[in-house]
Homo-oligomer: A and B are copies of this chain.
Amino acid sequence: MNWWKNHRGSSTPVWFADVCLRGIAQVMLQNNPLTGALFLAAIAWASFASDAYRLAIAAILAVIVATLTAQWLRVDPDELESGLYGYNATLVGLTLATFLAPGALLWFYVVFGAIVSVIATLATFNVLKPWGLPALTSPFVLVAWLMLLATYGFAGLSGESLPSGAVVGAYQAYHNDPLDIFGFIQGFFKSISQVFLKADGIAAVLLVAGLLVSSPAAAAFAVGGAILAVATAHLLGAESQLITGGLLGFSPVLTAITLGTVFYKPSPRVAAYAALGTAFTVVAQAATNMALTPLAIPALTAPFVLVSWMFLLPRPCLETTRPAKTPHEEGGA
């Protein structure tokens, strides 16, 4: 780590890699290159395990393109070096490669999406300034939704694992199994790994390790958020397959990290408030899944963004760590 710090200032390639790794780390709101490296290892492992190397390649390509775009647009250097222009691109790259069929146009689309994600990030920063709110992953959600929806109108880009469209209908509890301990553990791990769009236990361990080196509190809230999300979803009678696949838990994990560690000075009252927000994110996740049913696109992390903003706006009522800066600068190596 010392070698890295010394060379970051003098060597351009090391500096560039540092910025890109922090960009990957910011997906879970951390500003730490080692965290980024562990997150990248999680992505690489999950890509390898699912025999889809293009996922890792798309993520790396996207964060590199985004960093170059941010330099071209002469963004604020401090924000750039904190990785704030990389995390949305990382997620756009992963999402496009996950849901669309491979092909030459996919790579054009990944590069295009990465460039636009930087502009969307800049735009979101400006939009949110009056309220001192962080952008979170909203630029990613906006760009990815538009690009995924558009593929239904383009022959060159077809969805491989996109959901199919339908109107909202009454829930049929086919698999209302009592969630046993193994299902619970599976749901717990996959809730964490699904933050990077993958259902993989080893990736989850690498992600928690990445959080630990940057912020033990963030790791604790991620673990607690995953447990609470799986329990809430089961209590309300969600489909077992969604729960064990982690598909109702990844947004709550991010909400827990955001509300629990990055913004508010920890206290029992803040922990209760964060738990409330985490549980409500499960409701918002189920609601967003339904709202997008006719459009045949995934909810991504929109429920996390919505609920986190809703719970961050009443800040003056809770003890804040800092007045009104974006969360992403928090932490740091």
Q: Which residue numbers of A lie inside 8 Å of B, CB to CB?
A: 72-75, 105, 112, 115-116, 119-120, 122-124, 126-127, 130-131, 145-159, 164-171, 173, 176, 235-239, 242, 269, 276-277, 279-280, 283-284, 286-291, 293-297, 309-311, 313-314, 317-318
Give, as a whole number of angstroms, the nearest-CB distance from A232 to chain B: 10
| Distance, CA A239 to CA B148, complexed state (A) | 17
Give, as a whole number of angstroms, the nearest-CB distance from A109 to chain B: 8
Query: CB within 8 A of A149: which of B115, B286, B294?
Result: B286
Give, as a whole number of angstroms, the nearest-CB distance from A95 to chain B: 14
Least CB separation from A142: chain B residue: B310
Most buried by B among A74, A169, A288, A313: A313
Check A296 against B237 for contact (C-beta < 8 Å): no
Indicate how many identical chains form the complex: 3
Check B155 against A164 for contact (C-beta < 8 Å): no
Most buried by B among A152, A158, A239, A288: A152
CB-CB < 8 A to A116: which residues of B? 276, 280
Check B311 against A119 for contact (C-beta < 8 Å): yes
- A–B pairs, 22, beta carbons within 8 Å: A74-B317, A119-B310, A119-B311, A122-B313, A122-B317, A123-B313, A130-B130, A145-B287, A146-B284, A149-B291, A150-B283, A150-B287, A151-B171, A152-B286, A153-B239, A153-B287, A158-B170, A158-B171, A167-B293, A167-B295, A293-B294, A294-B294
| Distance, CA A75 to CA B158, complexed state (A) | 49
Query: CB within 8 A of A155: which of B148, B151, B173, B279?
Result: B173
Give, as a whole number of angstroms, the nearest-CB distance from A313 to chain B: 4
Check A153 against B74 for contact (C-beta < 8 Å): no
Give, as a whole number of angstroms, the nearest-CB distance from A333 to chain B: 26
| Distance, CA A16 to CA B175, complexed state (A) | 45
Check B155 against A176 for contact (C-beta < 8 Å): yes
Give, as a whole number of angstroms, the nearest-CB distance from A69 to chain B: 9
Check B280 against A112 for contact (C-beta < 8 Å): yes
Check B153 against A289 for contact (C-beta < 8 Å): yes
CB-CB < 8 A to A280: which residues of B? 112, 116
